[in-house]
Amino acid sequence: MKNFKYLYTVVRNIGQKYGSNRDVIPVNEAKRFVVDCFRSLKVPQNHADLMANLLIAADCRGHFSHGMNRLEMYLNDIQSATTDGAAVPTILKESPCTAWVNGNNGLGAVVGRFCMDLAIKKAKEVGVGWVCANHSNHYGIAGWYAIQAQEHGLIGISMTNTSPILCPTRGKEAALGTNPISVAAPANNGDGFVLDMATTAVAVGKVELQLRKELPIPSGWALDKDANVTTDPKKAFEASMLLPLGGLEETSGYKGYGLCGMVEVMTGILSNANFSTKIRKWTLDGSGSEANLGQVFIAVNPDCFAPGFTDRMTEMNGILRNVQPVNEEKPVLVPGDPEHAHMKKTDEEGGIRYHVNQLSNCDDIAAKLKVPKIGTM
């Protein structure tokens, strides 16, 4: 695990480097703040808890684009009644290994927990559980649900469609979402393989974070309104046209575009949810209509196949981590290693290191909802 230890040191040093403009918030305090915000809008306690666990887990794992950064958008949707914070999913159709679920326009974390719980139950009973849902909402990091299955010794898979922001290869307007894919597989001694990625070059939240920090974005992330590659986060955010994974056509961006379309098939098309440009835009100001997102949750019991699955996973992870790197200071990693390193850093520092602009946004939210500011309890 030498590579993991080195990565942890790098992540810790990055936190120290930027410590001058960030504050450390204890994890329980961050969750308290999120729960208070949702409860102030009459969201049931158990639903508020699910949302807090989801958002703060994203921040603990280093995915700040999908943690506290997303809070205001969820709250706006509840306030505008475009999301029902109290809704409970219902099963529309079911077989021993599949289910089609109506999320009833509920919170994405509530729909996701319900669906993956159902998929896990079926996988334990018959080997595979495949559950798709419509009428759902943004469900945070896809990995949250795949890990849910992994914790039961199962292979977990989750995908969702999202508001159109991907510009298809050779196109000059957005037609698909960031459409993330996550796969989590268990190995021995708490180790595992956790892939969690957008099929765009990056998630749109990464652009939002750069805009919040007033920093440029790398070339290859997004286009401006004239379909030119831009490094200006404001122009990228206003144009809302991300490049697919791989970037431009000459760098194989069509592969990311194809993966993005595959997710759309498995989610929006399969579940009879909104899809492609039929999905409403979702911005920091909220939206004027229901999202009706499509999502899929899959759990697979590896015990139904060749014995020794976790042993082989452990061996593969070891092989990958010990590949000779080009640069000794940048070791080869296994998907999930950066997140584990960030969680360890969070534990050591006693909390999550938020950017000052994020905390300022939280203060604004607290004032609007009349809840105690984050870090004051």
In a domain, 223, yes or no: yes
What's the average model confidence in pLDDT over 327-332?
A: 96
362 and 233 in a common domain? no
Per residue in 186-199, is it b (16+ CB within 10 Å) or e — as a string? bbeeebbbbbbbbb
CATH number, position 191? 3.30.1370.60
Q: How confident is the model at residue 288 (pLDDT cuts 50, 70, 90)?
A: confident
Task: Show the CA angle centred on residue 166, arms to residues 258 and 263, nearest 5°.
Answer: 40
pLDDT, tens only, 95-117: 999 999 999 999 999 999 999 99
235 and 280 in a common domain? no
> Which tokens sit at 250?
């000459």
> What's the pLDDT score for residue 206?
86
264 and 115 in a common domain? yes
DSSP 100-153: EEE-TT--HHHHHHHHHHHHHHHHHHHSEEEEEEEEE---S-THHHHHHHHTTT
Q: How confident is the model at residue 253 (pLDDT cuts 50, 70, 90)?
A: very high
| Beta-bridge partner residues of 23 | 354
Among candidate residues 201, 222, 205, the one with its CA nearest the CA of residue 213: 205
93 and 3 in a common domain? no
Among candidate residues 100, 111, 99, the one with its CA nearest the CA of residue 74: 111
274 and 232 in a common domain? no
Whether residue 39 has pLDDT greater than 70: yes
215 and 197 in a common domain? no
Q: How confident is the model at residue 284 (pLDDT cuts 50, 70, 90)?
A: low
What's the average model confidence in pLDDT over 307-323?
A: 98
In a domain, 314, yes or no: no
Phi/psi of residue 210, nearest 5 degrees: -65, -35
Whether residue 205 has pLDDT greater than 90: no
What's the average model confidence in pLDDT over 171-184?
A: 97
DSSP 253-305: HHHHHHHHHHHHIIIIIHHT---GGGSPP-BTTB-SS---EEEEEEEE-GGGS
> What's the pLDDT score for residue 16?
39
> What's the pLDDT score for residue 377?
59
In a domain, 187, yes or no: yes
- The answer to whether 261 and 181 have CB atoms below 8 angstroms apart is no
> What's the pLDDT score for residue 203?
83
Among candidate residues 176, 184, 178, the one with its CA nearest the CA of residue 202: 178
123 and 64 in a common domain? no
In a domain, 322, yes or no: no
Q: How confident is the model at residue 361 (pLDDT cuts 50, 70, 90)?
A: very high
SS3 string of 205-238? HHHHHHHHHCCCCCCCCEECCCCCEECCHHHHHH
- The answer to whether 102 and 115 have CB atoms below 8 angstroms apart is no
In a domain, 310, yes or no: no
pLDDT, tens only, 333-347: 999 999 999 999 999
> What's the pLDDT score for residue 2?
45
101 and 72 in a common domain? no
CATH number, position 33? 1.10.1530.10
> Left if phi > 0, otherwise alpha if psi is -120 to 50, otherwise beta: which for 138?
beta
300 and 231 in a common domain? no
Q: Give percent above pLDDT 70 in the chain.
A: 93
Q: Give percent above pLDDT 90 in the chain.
A: 86
Q: What is the total count of domains within the chain?
A: 3
In a domain, 26, yes or no: yes
In a domain, 319, yes or no: no
258 and 109 in a common domain? yes
In a domain, 315, yes or no: no
Cα separation, 360 vs 352, in Å, equals 15
Task: Give 372's DSSP letter.
Answer: P
Q: How confident is the model at residue 248 (pLDDT cuts 50, 70, 90)?
A: very high
Whether residue 1 has pLDDT greater than 80: no
Number of Cβ atoms within 10 Å of the Cβ of 117? 18
148 and 101 in a common domain? yes
294 and 174 in a common domain? yes
pLDDT, tens only, 114-136: 999 999 999 999 999 999 999 99
Whether residue 286 has pLDDT greater than 90: no
> What's the pLDDT score for residue 213?
87
Task: Give 193's DSSP letter.
Answer: E
Packing angle of the helix pair 45-60, 27-40 (nearest 10 deg): 140
**Range(s) of the domain holding residue 231:** 211-242
> What's the pLDDT score for residue 212?
83
- The answer to whether 99 and 122 have CB atoms below 8 angstroms apart is yes
Task: Give 186's DSSP letter.
Answer: E
- Averaged pLDDT of the chain: 93
> Which tokens sit at 354?
């938020």
Chain centroid to CA 50? 14
